[in-house]
Amino acid sequence: MQQSVPEKVKKALSAAGVQEGSRILAAVSGGADSVCLMLALTELGFLVHIVHVEHGIRGQESLEDCAFVRRLCEERQIPLRVVPVDAPAKAARDSVSLEEAARMLRWDALTQAAAQTGIPVIATAHHRMDQAETVLWNLVRGSSVQGLGGIRPVRREHGLTVLRPLIDCDREQIEAYLRENRVSWREDSTNADLSLTRNAIRRKVLPLLEELNPGAVRHIAAAASDLREVEDWLRAGTDRAWDTVILENGNGRESDLTADRSNLMKCPGPVRGRILRRMAAQCLGGEKDISRVHIQALESLAAGRSGQELCLPDQLRAVSEEGVLRLTRRKAEKTDLVVPLSADGRYFYPETGIWVEASYLTWPGGEVPKKKYTKYLAYDTMAPCPALRTRREGDYLIVNAASGRKKLKDYLIDEKVPRLLRDRLLLIAQGSHVLWVIGMRISEGAKVQALSKAVRVTVSGNIVL
């Protein structure tokens, strides 16, 4: 036997942990769905506070809706808060549809009312047909699992619990309940406007699907419930993978956001796509400008060869580097710097913000002090003097006692130094021999021996690494 509307509402609130007699903030437009919600909540003994948003769209008809809701509340002695807004102005200002502007203003009105009244529970009148509409619209516009899960019966955010107690009710059951209780409702004339997406789905698409299968709406809603469980599982997996993939948790503006490409590509496809979407959203301040095409392009970039890049909205760039996928708004900067260290002294170089102090000596022997930015370096007395500079083609380090060489480029790749930073690294070099990658290692060929000629170099200031 089918449950009544109050029974379904009671079950939904109990499942959400809302105790009997609690205060609930309900959005009531005057339509059958919201009037049904108000009636069922009061019948069950909840302390209902009503919020009615007058959108400034339908002129006199909208004012009459407001008067109808006011009368209902006065008859039942229910507190009412009327919030007038200007949805057309917001739509024009924010470059969004009228439907979206109205939705955002309703949500603002509800959250403000919740804050002012101290009521942490908000109830809206979405029902099964709304669920089916939402799933179909998200499907045709390219949403993934999250969108296909439709409207969540319970959502918790910012200390609020948002409930849809009628989500398992059909429109027919809602209207029958109102007729049984001899309660009228208002009809919104814009519901007949087929230029509005949801109206077209409700009045043209869903009736055709119900003709093909009388249980179509119910089946779509059931599938949405299953997909919400899948979404929750994927979200938990994404949260776990995020910590293993993300190296720098920046926002692409003040600091870069970087991911370990190897760990990223090891993730299952759905999780990998979600990590990429979350990365882009974190740098762009939301998902509004992120499409499926962007995520596919990012995935191809992460899987491809190093040195490629992709332009994203808001001047964001994705750069594929050895071992790293980087989201950044910075331009690669090459500092063309050469400063010969031909004599003892301390110098400031304003173009880099670096102080360098050089002292030439004979190393007496013993243990070499270990400091990150002070090194004792042996050098070739027959070659040009050591210099402070940035990297050049052909640079190398000596990496073992047998004088084995390694290209500086290969060393930096092995150390996963981002491509954007490599041309800004400072070196102490003699010819092509890199004595010291400042902030990192020194060459085996620069290690001092007893009674050998050496230069003591101390670097301070705006050091890249």
pLDDT for res 264: 96
Half-sphere exposure at residue 432, Cβ-oriented, CA atoms within 13 angstroms: 10
CA–CA dist 58, 73 (Å, integer): 22
Instruction: State the average pLDDT for the chain.
Output: 90
CATH architecture, domain defined by 250-328: 2-Layer Sandwich (3.30)
Cβ-proximal residues to 406 (8 Å cutoff; 6+ apart), any chain = 396, 397, 398, 399
Q: Is the pLDDT of residue 390 over 60?
A: yes
- Tell me how far apart the terminal alpha carbons of the chain are, to the nearest angstrom: 71
Predicted TM-score (pTM) above 0.85 = no
- For 5-223, CATH gives 3.40.50.620
Would you state the pLDDT for residue 163? 96
Domain boundaries, the chain: 5-223, 250-328, 338-461
Q: How confident is the model at residue 463 (pLDDT cuts 50, 70, 90)?
A: low
| DSSP symbols for 119-160 | --EEE----HHHHHHHHHHHHHTT--HHHHT-S-SEEEETTE
Task: Quickly state the pLDDT bin for 462 (edges 50, 70, 90).
Answer: low
The pairing of beta strand 317-321 with beta strand 309-311: antiparallel
Residue 31 pLDDT class (50, 70, 90 cuts): very high
3-state secondary structure of 396: strand
